[in-house]
Structure 1
């Protein structure tokens, strides 16, 4: 049976990598805390196993053959993957999830989450975080259907067995319109009758199976329905309608004059929001975010 096709051992790839990095067999031996003869034997055995020359020894100094160079480059990918696999297994053994999935309610501007994410990535660079934006009931529906591990900014969460909650933040609202919209010229607080004749821009509930909900819409008011908070604010800025917007989303546009704020006779009160997670979930990445984001901890 030919020796060709035998699997390459990680020890041989580590030896080849060390020779290339440190420039000689002797230097590689020192870096690996081995004697030079052991390095030579490992390379010789590698060449025997593969049935090819890894080094060209015809000159004053051994240099990699084209096959040896290919083996080195591909071998480094294998070494990296091997180290990452070992580290991932250790993290999992320490109860650190390989990935944390988050549903962010549309009431919360993503920028409000960036500082926490930056700190988490600095402390745990190998753990992936996946964020999806959801609206109204779609946020906690994603949690109960196991599409995410943590729901952030949920308003009016249902009472459901097996779901834990912690206070997140109160969401402040601004009733917005375009600077040239007819409502922008009013100097007195606006009553519902004055608002009802103007089209409202609303964001559709992203729930897939639950009954769709709406918020901030008056009876009989015409509407423009969009799919995200970002689209809602853009539509209001373009004069396509009016509506309540979370202050975290619109502060810059109000400051720059791209949006106008209307005073209402009955202002919308700040609305509490929550973090939600399943009682059975206990990973340390999830706990990190709960501890960081919950105002009660």
Structure 2
């Protein structure tokens, strides 16, 4: 009966295949070879077929053995995952870590920190979203996320605790063939000159910035729904706008974009925004969230 199958038999089967022989499998399992042979024979009896052809110098998988090897691996993987998750639950580890990140923050640093967290808490699922402006704070307040990475000082709430991470440099840019690019001859570009051209502006998907504009200097605007779209439209020469330096550094170096030295947008058209890791005061962080927080703090350099 298949109900008599054991995990030990399946693990022995997979170990023998991976090690190449019964003898090597026994050594890897710290057992005598006869015990391994007996476990495989019992498994074959339960399945009613031969997993190995023993007629040669080394046992070779039969066609049936090859077909069932993937099933055995899958069962062991699921059992190991269940054990890891059970250990996590016993330690009070979260089932899921939900995180919303500001579009201005370099997502690669989030990936590095999540990878570090997963090494210690492999059973924790991850839910990650990237949202602009009021999105991260709204997600926290609505309970859609455990943690949020926020940029700048425009969104605050007394129910939310903040931990400073690093500085994000935002620069005003235009395509190399845009009319504003011809004005970057060492002098500052005035606000009147910027206002003569279309500005590409990121839309806030929340109501937190209702009635307010951040850094909008031109009466001519194209409002877009994502930072990638904003980047693409500026590259296409549609208009000018501000983007994080980490996103456009290569474009600037290779001449596709030029930086606009507009003092109205910060010194030399550069603005430094502080990035914060945020969480609700009434929602204490679990072990995985704390591990992610430590890893993100380590991966975030003083300046981006």
**Normalised TM-score (structure 2):** 0.76
Deviation at 1:242, TM superposition (A): 1.3
Contact 1:154 1:276 in 2 (8 A): no
User: Match of 1:278?
Assistant: 280
Specify which of 50, 54, 75 is matched with residue 50 of structure 2. 54
Matched, 1:80 2:77: yes
Q: Provide Cα deviations, 1:81-120, integer angstroms capped at 9, x if missing partner.
A: 2122212322343444454332221122324545545655
| Cα displacement (A) at 1:134 | 0.5
Find the counterpart in structure 1 of residue 99 from structure 2.
102
Answering whether residue 290 of structure 2 is matched by residue 290 of structure 1, we say no
What SS class does the counterpart of residue 273 from structure 1 fall into?
strand
**1:58–1:29 Cα change, 3 Å:** closer
Contact 1:17-1:76 within 8 A present in 2 as well:
yes
Q: Which has the larger radius of gyration?
A: 1
State the Cα deviation string for residues 30-80 of structure 1 (Å, max 9, x = none).
554556665565455445544x23357895887665444434431122112
How many angstroms does 1:121 deviate by? Answer: 5.7
SS in 1 for 2:145: coil
The alignment partner of 2:3 has SS state of: coil
Which residue does 2:165 correspond to in 1? 168
Instruction: Report if the CA contact (8 A) 2:151-2:275 is conserved.
Output: yes
Question: How far apart, in 2, do the equivalents of 1:256 and 1:206 lie?
Answer: 33
Q: Find the aligned partners of 2:128 and 2:178 in 1 and give their Cα distance.
A: 35
Question: Alpha carbons of 1:76 and 1:107: their partners in 2 closer, same or farther (altered >3 Å)?
Answer: closer
Per-residue CA shift, 1:5-27, capped at 9, x if unaligned? 53522122223334445566666
Q: Residues 250-265 of structure 1 correspond to what in structure 2 (within 5 A)? A: 250-265=248-263
1:167 is displaced (CA, Å) by 1.5
Question: Does the 8 Å CA contact 2:215/2:265 hold for their aligned counterparts?
Answer: no
CA–CA distance in structure 2, aligned partners of residues 275 and 57 of structure 1: 58
The 1:197–1:76 alpha-carbon spacing in structure 2 relative to 1, beyond 3 Å, is same
C-alpha distance in structure 1 between counterparts of 2:103 and 2:115, whole Å: 20
Counterpart position of 1:201: 200
Instruction: Tell me the equivalent position of 1:216.
Output: 215
Distance 1:165 1:134 in 2: 18
Choose 124-133 or 142-151, whichever is displaced more: 124-133
- Taking structure 1 as reference, are residues 98 and 59 closer, same or farther at Cα in structure 2, changes over 3 Å only? same
C-alpha contact 1:53 1:67 (8 A) present in aligned 2: yes
Structure 2 counterpart SS, 1:6:
helix
Normalization by structure 1: what TM-score?
0.78
Aligned 8 A contact 2:15 2:25 in 1: yes
Contact 2:198–2:238 (Cα < 8 Å) also in 1: yes
Q: CA deviation at 1:202?
A: 0.6
Paired position in structure 2 for 1:226: 224
Deviation at 1:272, TM superposition (A): 2.8
Q: 1:41 to 1:113 in 2, by over 3 A?
A: closer
What is the deviation of 1:282? 1.8
- Superimposed CA distance per residue, residues 178-236 of structure 1 (whole angstroms, 9 cap, x where no aligned partner): 223222233543333332221110111133x6565642113x61111122222212212
Change (3 A) 1:10 1:147: same
Does the aligned pair in 1 maintain the 2:102–2:131 contact within 8 Å? yes
Count residues with an aligned counterpart.
290
Q: Cα 1:37–1:176, aligned 2, differ >3 Å: closer, same or farther?
A: closer
Q: CA RMSD in A?
A: 3.6
